[in-house]
Amino acid sequence: MPLGLNSLKKSIWVYHVACSPCNNCDIEILDLLTPRFDVERFGIVLVGSVRHADALLVTGMVNRQIKPRLQQLYLQAAKPCVVFAIGSCAVNGNFFRRSYNMAGPVDRVIKEVDPNAIIVYVPGCPPKPESMISGVVKAIGFLDNLKAKKK
């Protein structure tokens, strides 16, 4: 049985966290799972429980209400777990960045609880499904680096 990071690369289970997005990014994520893009051929499956997740797909600017929830979700996920900041909102706040209820883009919120978190940025408003797939590919490249370092 192929063990360890090798198989992690080929079977990424994603959990969708909507942190106050405008919902457009979420629609694009759902596009990703339709037969047209069919990410199951790469082993990517949407799961319903954060305990099963290998990757959190976070969309939206994170507002004050959702911030503790996002942090808690990240802590609950079984490590190793990669965080995908999907959409410009999640990457840097987009046009909400000066909003009164903005609690920081995703990376800052996550790094508050885990400074070593692996965060992948997929900018775009909304990003195309293709660019999300390329984000996943880059994350896999990162896992390769991790393995090389371990050796």
Partner 1 sequence: MAIFYYLIFPGFLFTVIVGLLTAWFDRKVTARVQWRKGPPILQNFYDVGKLLIKEVPIPETANKTIFLLAPAIALAAATLSASMLGVINMNWNYTFVGDLIVLWYIMSIPSIMIVVGASASGNPMSSVGASREMNQLIGYELPLVIAISTVVFKVGSLGLGDILAYQANNGPILYSISGVISCIVILICLQAKLGLVPFDIPEAETELGAGAFMEYSGAALGAFKLTKAILLYTSPIFIITLFWGGIQIKGLGILWAILKYILFIALFTLIRNTNPRLRIDQSVRFFWVTMTILAIIALILMSLGY
* Binding-residue pattern over the window 64 to 103 for ligand SF4, x denoting contact by CB under 6 A: -----------------------xxx----x---------
Q: Is 22 a residue that touches ligand SF4 (CB under 6 A)?
A: yes
Length of the chain: 151
For residues 3 and 42, the answer to whether their CB atoms sit within 8 Å is no
In this chain, which of 93, 126, 129, 135 binds ligand SF4, going by CB under 6 A? 126
For residues 128 and 135, the answer to whether their CB atoms sit within 8 Å is no
Cβ distance to ligand SF4 smaller for residue 85 or 139: 85
Task: Considering only CA atoms, give the Rg of the chain.
Answer: 15
3-state helix, strand, coil in the chain (%, to 5): 45, 15, 35
Q: How crowded is residue 101: how many other Cβ atoms within 10 Å of its Cβ?
A: 13
CB-side neighbour CA atoms (13 Å) of 30 = 6
Could you tell which of ligand SF4, partner 1, none binds residue 20, using a CB distance below 5 to 8 A set by kind?
none
Total number of residues that touch ligand SF4 (CB under 6 A): 12
Cβ distance to partner 1 smaller for residue 55 or 119: 55
Residues facing residue 122 across a β-bridge: 86
Residue numbers at the binding site for ligand SF4 (CB under 6 A)? 21-22, 24-25, 59-60, 87-89, 94, 125-126
Residue numbers at the binding site for partner 1 (CB under 8 A)? 1-8, 10-11, 35, 38, 40-41, 43, 47-49, 51-52, 54, 76, 78-80
